[in-house]
Structures are given as structure tokens and as C-alpha cells.
Structure 1
């Protein structure tokens, strides 16, 4: 049986070699389709990987623990207090850090609405008491001066956001100048660059305008302003007693986010009598990236599949022409005893050789997507450095093994499907009519 199969393939190969140009053009469509599947999926995987890495940096591995003001019940002491006490405690931060070894860092912060003054100018800003890591967490950049450092703890220094600095110092460099925060003077040591508003990204839970902030050391806020504050903005006076507004917990692996969030919820539940906190997991960012990648890959496979379909139609067209040209040969084989299945096997072997050969060459070229993509990028850059957008320079194709198997399967399947009709047409010929064919 194996000998018969090999002999059929050998006969099919000889038949194809008699029409090299025609066979090559027929296999070219399968070659292009197979290579396209691997290339498009590899580039799509590269784009998806870059997007997921950026999403991870934006906060997919962060757990945001935030103070939430409870809804007054109307009959308790809390509702009658002028300064309601609620939210996260410094002890909560210590418990999280000391009891959960799988976290990479925990960043506390306290924010209040506060008025900053310089001579006759003022700005209602969000005063943020934070630590050194707050800069990297929220992807802020320093435009002038420097950021807060651990040695500033307890000192009256402030870093102004872009819009806040321009309101207080419209024509001056604010570095080294003094700003009134309440009854205390603070020295400006830095100014951050403009930044777009963000929602649930990095260390931000709400839609935040970082350009209107002012940043002081968390320890400075505790010592000089305290937990009990009364603010007046737009004629409204609000008081509260809150130690920490938020703790952003970063874990080492995305897979442990849900587990760590559950542990944090259990810890806080033991020491809080009221629901004055919220644990938020922004991992939906990563899930959305996964869904986008799946849809993107499906679209690419459909586009490449169309190329394979066109290649298959080309093979069927070639094989139909071959059947017509070899009608007399088919009649002779039938006359000397060849059965219909022998004719079908002969023509199917030829189509499989065409599609399989084109598919294998397409796989080999598809596996070269990385070097060829880099070479093309270098050539384009050498001709015009600004022609390609920055994202193209960051993309590195990532070959997906499933795309290789899928492309080979589709190419062989295409050859088989589109070769059945010509093979059956050849097998169903009447031997007498075939021998008379000129």
C-alpha cells in the first residue's frame, strides 16, 4: 500500500514537472496565503504584546484600596458629627505590607481639596500627601526642579502641577518661591509636566486631572495639617477625619491580583465596623486587551484565508485545464485497467503536491517574519527616518505556533477540497470517448 502511494506521488510529481510554469503559478497562491497567515498573526501578536505590556504598566497589576465616606444612617453618632471619621488607617497600610508577602509595593496617599495662595493669586487645588513612588505610579514627569524624596519627610516643601503652577506663578519660575498653604509657607521644589486626565489607570480610581494638583510629603501633611481638616471651596465647608485616602497595592503577577484583593478585603473587614473602604481591581484592562487580540487575530486569519481561497480556486482552474489536456492519457489508463479511484488518487496527489509544496514554502518564509520585518524597517528608516510612526519601531513580531499549524492545515485542506472536482471529472470520463479525444 505504501509502495502504491509513493508511486502515485511520484507519477503526480512527474506530471507537474512537465508544466513547471503552470504548476508554479498555481502553488504561488497557496504560498502567499500560507505566508500571509503566519505573518499577519505574528505581527498581530507583536502589537498585542506591546499593548498588554503598556496596559500592565498602566495598572493592570495594581489593586486600589480607597476610603469611601459611608452614607449617613440618620440615627447614629456618625451622622451628627461635624467631623465624620472614616476610611483607611495607617495601621491598615502596615497590616497589608506585613501580612501579604506577594506584593511588590504599597503606596499610601492622602488627598484633600485645598487653597494655595501667592500674594493676590490663589488656586483651588487637590493637595496630595504622597511618597516618592507616587511619581512613577501615576506616570508623572518633572518639568522643573525635582520630585519629593524621603529626606523631605516632615519638611514644608511642595511640588506644583502644571496648571497650578501657572495660576500661582504666571510669569515666573516657581522653583524656590514660597506658597501659602493655610497658615504655613511652603517652598516650591518642583513642577510636573502637563498630563492628560486618567480614569482607573495607575493609581487613579476616578477621572483625575493631574494638572491641578499640588504634592507634599505624606508625613508633612500628617504633622502640619493633620487628619482632621475643614475645607472651604466655592462657599461650601466640609469637614472630615481621614488618615489615608488611598493605598495602591502592586502585585508581582497578574495571576495573583484576585487572590491578593480577597486577602486585603478580609484584613480590612476584621478591623472596620463600617463599609468605609472599597477594594477595586482594574484587571478589566488586561481582559479587554485579550479580547481585542482575539478579535484582531480572527480578522487577520479571515483576510489570510481569503488569500488561500483564491489560491485554491487557482489550483482548481489549473487542474481542470490539465484534465482537458490529458483526456487521451486518462482514456489510455482506463483502457489498460486503471480504476476510477486510481484516476482520482492521481489527480488528488497532484493537487496535494501543489498545495503542500506551496504551503511548506509559505511556512519557511513565514518563519522569517522577524528578520524580514526588521530589515524592511531599517531600509525604510534609512530612506526616510520620519516615515514610520513610533509604534512600528517598538513592534517585534511574535510567531504563534498555532498559526503555523493552521496555515498548513488550511493549505492542504484547500488543495484537497478544490482538487476533488477535477479528479472526479477525470475519473468519470468514458474510456471510449477519452480515447477518441484529439
Structure 2
């Protein structure tokens, strides 16, 4: 008995769907435009969320590249009347104090940077000379394509050895291997013992940390830099002479356990605050930045979702508009059906089914279009770089190189919302159709 009832219900539902589809096909242009409204709404949800996810992931990857367990203490030039032009920033004493007193640390990597001109014969290149320890290779995620990186012995014996970046190798040694060749820095010569693989630059993250470009780096042992070049930096420009004393540009502290990162960062600030009344340092904690980025990401995705939802509401209004027009046009048909025994719920079911069909078709096409978000965005970016290269070059790397990432949950969400919109905006026209008086409907021309 139950099986027979189920078969009858299914047959009735199938007839309702078939009748709804036939009714919609009688006006293909009007139905198509309504479907297009839902399609654009669903497409907007998927695409906007995908673009937002792509930007968020790129930002989070850049923050994560700093190391989730790292604490970065950087030198900052003080400003104001209290600064007398003497030495400033992170010192060797700070490095010793931090590395010896904080028990939660796994390692501490000191770094010294300065801008220099590198020469090989008649070729020259201005870049960044970086004094490092062997641990810097892992901290900066540098990979060696040729030769080796600096060792403990290079620093212990203050050898004039250097490791150069891929671009420096290409510019100063366009032919042949640079291994064993000499690079002149000021009046000193350094023997090339290794070449790094190309490494993309890290974008600046707000005011917390400056961008780092590794493409024009030359790395030497930190002890060699201290001995050969000292702490003094002199810059002479037309009409200006500047002399700074900087011992360390940065100390990167790695904490053994992630749970200890934030407490250790507080201890770092307390440890060195008393020795730096001018606030000539900055402490950056990538983990804090990641938490902030996650919060910003959720707010950003919510905003984009709300903006995209407006398109779905507009599409729903289009469904209501076409269904109200359909009720008016099919008043006589409704009267005939009621006269033949159709109940109000049958009329409501038919018009609701038509609304849902429109929303499902539009939503399905919108989801299919949303899956092509990434290739379309990449193709569009390629064409824009060909048509307007100068304008595209001015766009920040984070935006120019972003690749949309389709959020998996956005597909069922957008499709579900489109169905809900179809039902919500189809209820009123369906009820209006069901409440028509059969006799008055039969008299309608």
C-alpha cells in the first residue's frame, strides 16, 4: 500500500516538473534572462570568495615564510630630538643576552646588512651585502644550486669567502662558472664558494616588517664582516654626509615549541627594553601576524559573501517578477485546472516548481562557470600584461600574482542559496495563483 502511494506521489511530482518545464519553454527569452540573473549571482559568490581566498592564502604564505616559530628583532633608526646621531639598533650584547637567558629558544641567528657595490672587472652591481652565520641558510630558506653555503670555519677563521645570489651570478659572471672567482666589495676581494637558487622576494607586511629582496644578495661570514668592515656605515651623496653605527640589523629567534612563541616574545621585549630608551628596535612575531591575517580573512570573506549575495537577491527579484507575470498570463489556465479538480496545493506546487527549476538551472550553470575562475583570471592577467604592461607593473605583487582558489564550501552554499532564493521569491506568486477564484479565472480573457 505504501509502495503504491509512493509511486503515485512520484508520478504526480514528475508530471508537475514536466508541466513546469514546458511552461517555461513557452517563453525562452524571458526564462533565459531570469536564469541569467541567478547565474550571475551564483557566479559572483563563487568568484568573489575564490579571489578573496587567493589573496588571503598569498598573504598567509608570505607571513608563514617568516617562520611560525620565529621572533624577529630588527634594528629601527630612531627619530626625534633625543637621537644624537650615534650608534643605534640591536647590538651584539642584545644577541648574547637573548640567546643565553631565554630557555625556550631553539636557535638565535644574527644578521648584519648593508648596501654595497659589487665589482668583477668592468661589471658592477649594487646590492645587499649580508653578514650571516651558517644557520641563516635554513632561516631564510635558501637553496644552493652550485658549490656550498658558508660554514662555521669560514666565520671562525674570518675567511674572505662569499655566497652569491642567482641574479648576482648572472650579472657579474654571464659566462662560465663563478665558483672560485673573486668579487670586489669596496677594497676587499671575496672568493665565491656557492651560488643560491633564485628566491622570490617577500612582500612587506603592513608596518610590521619591511619587504626583503634576495635577488641581489652577497653573503659573507658575520665575523668576517665585523673584522673587515666594522660597524660604521658611511653614505656620501651630493650635499649630504651620513655616518651610522650599526652592530646588527636583525636577530631571528626560533622557539622550540609553538605554544611558547607569544610568551617568549613578551620576554624578549622586557629583556632588551631597558637598554634601548630610544626604541630603536622592533619585535615582529609572525604567529601574531598569522592570527591577525586569519581574522582579517574571515571578515574579508564575509564582506565579499554579502556583496555577492546581493546579486542573488536581485536574481530572486527577477524570479518573482516573471512568476507574477506568468500568473497574470495563465489565469484562465489556472481556472480550468481548478474546475477539473486541481487543489490549491497543486497550483502552489506547480508555480513553486517553476521557480525552483529556474533557480537550479541558473545555480548549476553559475557553479560550472565558477570552476573556471582560476584559468580565466590567469588568462585575463596575461592579456592585461600584454596590453597595459606599465600599469600592470605598478600593481602590487600580492595583487598582480594572486591566483583565485575556489573555496569548496562556496559551491554547495551558493547552489543552496539559489534554491532558497527561488523558493522564497516564488512563494508569493504561487499563493496568489492558488487563491484565484476559479469562476473569475475562467472568465478571464
TM class, shorter-length:
0.5 to 0.7
For the Cα contact (< 8 Å) 2:16–2:350, is it kept in 1?
Answer: yes
Q: CA deviation at 1:110?
A: 0.9
| Residues 113/21 of structure 1: CA separation in 2 closer, same or farther (3 Å cut) | closer
Which deviations, in whole Å up to 9, do the C-alpha atoms of 1:117-137 show, x marking residues without a partner? Answer: 555766554321134565676
Name the stretch that deviates more: 189-198 or 179-188: 189-198
- Structure 2 counterpart of 1:399, from 404, 409, 414: 409
The answer to whether residue 246 in structure 2 is matched with residue 242 in structure 1 is yes
User: Kindly tell me: are residues 15 and 151 of structure 1, through their superposed partners in 2, closer, same or farther at Cα, counting changes over 3 Å?
Assistant: same
Q: Structure 2: how far apart are the matches of 1:228 and 1:242?
A: 5
Change (3 A) 1:10 1:153: same
Partners of 2:12 and 2:93 in 1: how far apart?
80
Q: Name the structure 2 match of 1:79.
A: 84
Q: Which residue of 2 aligns with 1:68?
A: 76
- Structure 2 alignment gaps of length 5 or more: 1-5, 376-381, 386-400
**TM-score, normalisation: structure 2:** 0.64
**Which deviates more, 407-416 or 120-129?**
120-129
Aligned to 2:111: 109
Name the residue aligned to 1:126: 128
Structure 1: how far apart are the matches of 2:422 and 2:62?
41
Tell me how far apart the structure 2 counterparts of residues 137 and 362 of structure 1 sit (CA, whole Å).
Answer: 50
| SS class of match (1:65) | strand
Q: Aligned equivalents of 1:257 and 1:182: distance in 2? A: 40
CA distance in 1, matches of 2:417, 2:425: 12
- Of residues 301, 307, 318, the one that matches 1:310 is 318
Q: Deviations over 1:286-327 (max 9, x none)?
A: 666555544543444344444444344343343333332132
Residue in 2 that maps onto 1:51? 55
1:348 equivalent to 2:348? Answer yes
Structure 1 runs not aligned, ≥5 long? 1-5, 378-385
Instruction: Indicate whether 1:225 and 2:224 are aligned.
Output: no
CA spacing shift, 1:193–1:395, aligned 2, 3 Å = same
- Compute the displacement of 1:399 (Å): 1.8
CA RMSD for the aligned pairs? 5.5
Q: Which of the numbers 395, 404, 426 marks the counterpart of 1:415?
A: 426
Once residues 219 and 300 of structure 1 are traced to their aligned partners in structure 2, the CA distance between those partners, rounded to angstroms, is: 57
- Distance, in Å, in 1 between the alignment partners of 2:173 and 2:11 is 88
Over alpha carbons, which structure has the higher Rg?
Answer: 1
The reply on whether 1:22 has 2:22 as its aligned counterpart is: yes
Deviation at residue 219 of structure 1 after TM alignment:
4.1
1:28-48 deviation digits (Å, cap 9, x = unpaired): 988887787666545554444
- Give the aligned partner of residue 98 of structure 2: 95
Change (3 A) 1:163 1:323: same
Given the superposition, is the C-alpha separation of residues 362 and 114 from structure 1 closer, same or farther in structure 2, using an over 3 Å criterion? closer
Distance 2:418 2:106 in 1: 42
Counterparts of residues 139-154 of structure 1 (less than 5 Å):
145=147, 147-148=149-150, 152-154=154-156
State the Cα distance separating 1:141 from its structure 2 match.
6.8
Task: Check conservation: 1:328, 1:436, Cα contact below 8 A.
Answer: no
Mark the CA change 1:108 to 1:234 in structure 2 (over 3 Å): closer, same or farther: same
Measured in 2, the distance between the counterparts of 1:419 and 1:140 equals 66
Instruction: Give the 3 Å change call, closer, same or farther, for CA 252–139 of structure 1 in structure 2.
Output: same
For 1:275, what is the secondary structure of its paired residue? coil
**Secondary structure of 2:84's aligned partner:** helix
- Equivalent pair of 2:130/2:219 in contact (CA under 8 Å): yes
What is the rounded CA distance, in whole Å, between the counterparts of 1:211 and 1:123 in structure 2? 12
Q: Which stretch shifts more, 143-152 or 55-64?
A: 143-152
Q: Over residues 353-407 of structure 1, what are the superposed CA-to-partner deviations in whole Å (9 max), with x where a residue is unaligned?
A: 44456667888x699969x959x98xxxxxxxx99x9x99984551236545533
